[in-house]
């Protein structure tokens, strides 16, 4: 079973600066996927970025990149050039191969971008 740990309940960043949100995972599976979602105050979960366990390069999507360190079992989200609209809850999640499609989430990090 997966276990996801997000150790930062809240983070603050100045507008236009970069910020790293931490995520570690615990799995014995060889094949797994790592995901980050953003949840604004309106409530919807927005998919941001995906990293597969066999991907050698870190995933990037626009201002989002995933710093994947397999040996450390970490999958940190880096947001570059923060914007006020980035203020939201961020959830790290993971799933694994097999018949169980379940996505396990961490408890989230609340990011506040200050002007």
Element holding 19 (H helix, E strand): strand 19-21
Give the whole-angstrom CA distance, residue 69 versus residue 60.
14
Q: Which stretch binds other proteins (CB under 8 A): 10-18, 56-64, 80-88, 105-113?
A: 105-113
Pick from 81, 76, 60: nearest CA to 23? 76
**Do the beta carbons of residue 109 and residue 8 sit within 8 Å?**
yes
- Nearest-approach distance from CB 115 to other proteins, in angstroms: 26
- Nearest-approach distance from CB 9 to other proteins, in angstroms: 9
Give the whole-angstrom CA distance, residue 105 versus residue 34.
10
- Nearest-approach distance from CB 5 to other proteins, in angstroms: 11
Q: Which stretch binds other proteins (CB under 8 A): 18-26, 40-48, 57-65, 73-81?
A: 40-48
- Nearest-approach distance from CB 84 to other proteins, in angstroms: 22
Cβ-based nearer residue to other proteins, 2 or 76 = 2
Q: Give residue 42's region: left, alpha or beta (phi > 0; psi -120 to 50).
A: alpha
Give contact residues for other proteins (rule: CB under 8 A). Answer: 29, 31-33, 35, 37, 42-47, 50, 52-53, 91, 95-108
């Amino acid at each position: 079973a997966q276990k996801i740990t997000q150790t930062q309940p809240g983070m603050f960043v100045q507008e236009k600066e970069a910020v790293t949100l931490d995520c570690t995972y615990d799995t014995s599976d060889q094949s797994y996927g790592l995901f980050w979602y953003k949840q604004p105050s309106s409530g919807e979960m927005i998919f941001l970025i995906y990293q597969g366990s066999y991907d050698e390069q870190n995933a990037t999507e626009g201002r989002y990149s995933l710093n994947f360190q397999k040996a450390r079992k970490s999958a940190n989200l880096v947001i570059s050039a923060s914007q006020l609209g980035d203020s939201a809850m961020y959830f790290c999640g993971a799933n694994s191969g097999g018949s169980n499609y379940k996505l396990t989430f961490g408890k989230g990090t609340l990011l506040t971008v200050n002007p």
